[in-house]
């Protein structure tokens, strides 16, 4: 992206609502420091769906990248002038990067897919062919895109019904689809991974969470929420022999892709990971 003209300030930020908890500034600022991009800045801004269009239109040409969190991933996708394949497949963008032609347009990316893939891989789940996804929103669609097998399987755990666009994505990918109600954990017994994309307090029935299946590798639970310590789902999974992937690993790896896309440089993973560990430690110690 825009890595030339380093005497000109470049601005990036994370937008969402709520946004005060976001650790994205920690990661991106650590990357800029390691890369010597001292004229780059990265901040956070409270923006909701109603205010998104005006906020985006108000950015001048020094703004080169945005990270988007809830509830902006779909409205950001619709605002882009160019859409990458993964963003198109998922119908959601967690990243907007200024088009390189100097226009006022933006390209939509979905680096959540990379974040989920890497978080599962770090926990020992490589190339999952079957996944139980709690929820069916934008992040759930990123989890579906992380299923590698062309004839894989996805189980949706939802309160009511699966969102039509999410169901369509799974079927277009050739995945076998099952739907269960929240708290019905029997089908989790034979999947490679469980990915929860909903608030931890809304995940019921954990007393019936299954024991890890026997096999060459342990199944993995990924709760994408981070920042409040271990969730009830993570505790239940760990107690029953599952491997647990940290939501912060997803955060870290989706951010490395954002840094690469926004700056045009390979992301300094070690420095970003170190900064994240320090921030998490400080957050735990903060009374």
What 3-state class would DSSP assign to 268? coil
Please list the residues that pair with 134 across neighbouring strands: 157, 196
Report how far residue 3's alpha carbon sits from residue 10's, in angstroms, rounded to the nearest whole number: 9
Task: Identify which of 144, 118, 22 has the alpha carbon closest to the alpha carbon of residue 72.
Answer: 22
> What are all long-range contacts of 17-21, with beta carbons under 8 Å and residues at least 24 apart?
17/46, 17/47, 17/48, 17/70, 17/71, 17/72, 18/46, 19/44, 19/45, 19/46, 19/47, 19/69, 20/44, 20/46, 21/227
52 close to 79: Cβ distance less than 8 angstroms: yes
- The single residue of 10, 28, 44, 73 carrying the catalytic annotation is 73
Q: Is 73 considered catalytic here?
A: yes
Name the DSSP class of 161: -
The string over 165-199, giving b where at least 16 C-beta atoms fall within 10 Å of a residue's C-beta and e elsewhere, is: ebbebbeebebeeeebebeebebbeebbbbbbbbe
Question: Which residues are tagged catalytic?
Answer: 73
């Amino acid at each position: 992206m825009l890595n030339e003209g380093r005497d000109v300030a470049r601005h990036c930020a994370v937008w969402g609502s709520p946004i005060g908890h976001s650790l994205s500034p920690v990661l991106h600022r650590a990357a800029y420091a390691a890369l010597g991009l001292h004229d780059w800045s990265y901040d956070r801004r409270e923006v909701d769906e109603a205010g998104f269009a005006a906020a985006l239109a108000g950015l001048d040409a020094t703004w080169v990248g945005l990270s988007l969190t809830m509830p902006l991933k779909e409205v950001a996708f619709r605002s882009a002038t160019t859409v990458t394949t993964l963003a198109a497949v998922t119908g959601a963008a967690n990243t907007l990067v200024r088009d390189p032609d100097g226009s006022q347009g933006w390209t939509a990316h979905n680096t959540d897919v990379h974040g989920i893939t890497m978080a599962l891989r770090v926990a020992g789940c490589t190339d999952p062919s079957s996944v139980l996804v709690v929820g069916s929103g934008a992040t759930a669609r990123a989890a579906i895109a992380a299923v590698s097998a062309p004839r894989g399987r996805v189980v949706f755990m939802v309160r009511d019904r699966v969102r039509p666009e999410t169901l369509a994505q799974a079927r277009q990918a050739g995945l076998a689809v099952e739907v269960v109600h929240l708290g019905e954990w029997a089908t989790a017994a034979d999947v490679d991974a469980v990915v929860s994309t909903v608030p931890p307090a809304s995940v019921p029935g954990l007393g019936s969470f299954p024991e890890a299946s026997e096999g060459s590798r342990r199944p993995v639970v990924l709760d994408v929420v981070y920042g409040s310590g271990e969730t009830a789902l993570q505790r239940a999974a760990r107690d029953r022999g599952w491997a647990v992937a940290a939501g912060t690993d997803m955060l870290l790896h989706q951010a490395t892709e954002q840094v690469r896309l926004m700056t045009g440089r390979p992301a300094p993973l070690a420095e970003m990971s170190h900064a994240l560990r320090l921030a998490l430690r400080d957050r735990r110690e903060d009374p």
